[in-house]
Chains A and B, each alone.
Chain A
């Protein structure tokens, strides 16, 4: 089987769009060097094919994944697609090709490079989403709760399902500062859209009071004799701290508890 490889696909960046790339690659027997979203388009010497997003083609590929590779693979493909890896599309295409050939067995081939790459990326996405289920902090602004996050991966759809399920009565927004996207959830429905994100206004007095209470609780529960900043950083990397209530100095109008010399 000889595939043409000296070309680049360009698509609209959506999951449907990507599925259409898979459609084309499989039926035209092509193995593009890169599959890149529109916005990342660069000048290149290679031939560039623009892939249009066509719902019925996308639907055919979408259905083929659980049918040929199994339900678990469907989840893995979706998670990997949410990854921030620049080569995720090419990785996924290689994985899907292998799966179309071998069936559900592909998910057991953990030592295969193509499978390993996709599983690792998927794990990184669900790992980051799991951390953010804990580390996301909401603030009350009027009738809605608003949170800001700076994730590496596109975790908003995963957070949407989580928070919608546990707070059925609340309306909330989550602003993704990395990707300039916003999740809006209200009345049991949610949607994600791109947005020009502004700074949030100053919180009202009651909101600032709860932030202080939480920050004080955070400072108090730590046991001085067990001070272990390295361990904290392992579990909660610093890149999350910028958006967390307990690390904003405004919320701590008192001095941080001092760590005595004997423990340092």
Chain B
């Protein structure tokens, strides 16, 4: 099989992994090597589906010995199989990196023979890159569930970020759809990674040249929509993961039916992109806006509102806390105002030290007044002509079309997030 075909097969098999970030670590190049990393990450292109391309995301191999129902690479599926030799993949990474196509390598793999053998193959690739070619760009490596702890540790010492995919958000779903994987198989390596990262941090305090273990932390992915869990369950799981396993990111991936099976949604099912988007918005609110999972959803409202983003939903349920005076409110409260993001909240705090702000000034700071004006006062006054009742705000925040279909009790198309929604999702400005 020639290189072009091999790359096609192994990139195609890896593309359903949502994680594509090269962030979390600032590292300068070394004089004898090639490559550096930026804490903010760097997107090198955007594919036709609008997702960022930053790393060369491929599998080492797709010749899997497992038979997970939801997975295209499962043993019983009739697809082309390919495997990169470690040398081939290391060379390709270097050549792509020099041309500035990529920020680094995202290496995952199907389970070839057994988890340890697979891990060894990946280790060889990373060893060539790091120790032979002196490559200091970003490397994201997937931990292979079931591989021995010693091998995972070695992988962590070569990679910048590690991840283990949970995939299915509950044990029962896992039993049904991934009979070869057990919850323990997934959580054990996550625990190992957490401890390795923690240990590495402590060593670094004691010894300046201590080897760094996955310095950009670990992440995971949950598939949304393949199984019947509610948003509340998913959000609960992800906030537990952040807390217990100290994850840097939890990624959500709208389930795409690539496989026909009686236990799975039909092949014609469209991916629940809006639901995925709402989960990301909530994730952002938890990580950067000081929200708790239980503030966003509860037993009465276990799923997100398709018509309105979680921050607006929260604000409308807590109108007693608004309006807030922009010139006096603390940073935490500013963050909770729809239309004020992290950047504009910081700018407000900075700018009001130099003089009190009016609505015109807020606009210059990047506040989205279209939304924010229903929730704020400037110098004790509301924006002219604003009525701050629940009904009036709801009417103002929803588009006419959404309002109409809501009144008629119609199902909003879940697959048609507005452009604004999509943009917010990626930039994180909610």
Contact = CB atoms under 8 A, between A and B. Distances in A.
Interface stretch (B40-48, B181-189, B223-231, B309-317): B40-48
Interface string A198-223: 00000000000010111011101111
Contacts of A137: 99-101
B364 A116 contact: yes
Interface centre among B12, B354, B423 (most CB of A within 10 A): B354
B99 A210 contact: yes
A239 interface: no
A231 B422 contact: yes
Given A221-B11, A225-B270, A214 B49 contact: no
Contact of A245 (B35, B101, B254, B270): B101
B48 A236 contact: no
Contacts of A145: 98-99
B42 A110 contact: no
Contacts of A229: 48, 50
Given A213-B7, A236-B46, A220 B95 contact: no
A232 B422 CA distance: 10
Interface stretch (B61-69, B209-217, B345-353): B345-353
A138 B100 contact: yes
Interface string B4-21: 100110011011100000
A226 B98 contact: no
Interface stretch (B26-34, B200-208, B280-288): B26-34
A111 B47 contact: no
Interface string A164-184: 011111100000000000000
A229 B3 CA distance: 29
A138 B99 contact: yes
B92 interface: yes
Interface residues of A, number: 53
A113 to B, nearest CB: 8
B322 interface: no
B279 to A, nearest CB: 15
A214 B34 contact: no
A109 interface: yes
B29 A167 contact: yes
Contacts of A245: 99, 101
A252 to B, nearest CB: 12
A168 B419 contact: no
A147 B11 CA distance: 26
Contacts of B52: 235
Contact of B350 (A110, A140, A221, A228): A110
Given A210-B96, A213-B96, 8 more contacts: A105-B354, A168-B34, A221-B14, A226-B256, A229-B48, A231-B422, A232-B50, A259-B48
22 contacts: A111-B357, A111-B362, A134-B45, A134-B54, A166-B29, A167-B34, A168-B30, A168-B34, A169-B33, A213-B92, A222-B15, A225-B256, A229-B48, A231-B49, A232-B46, A232-B48, A232-B49, A234-B422, A235-B50, A244-B45, A245-B99, A246-B45
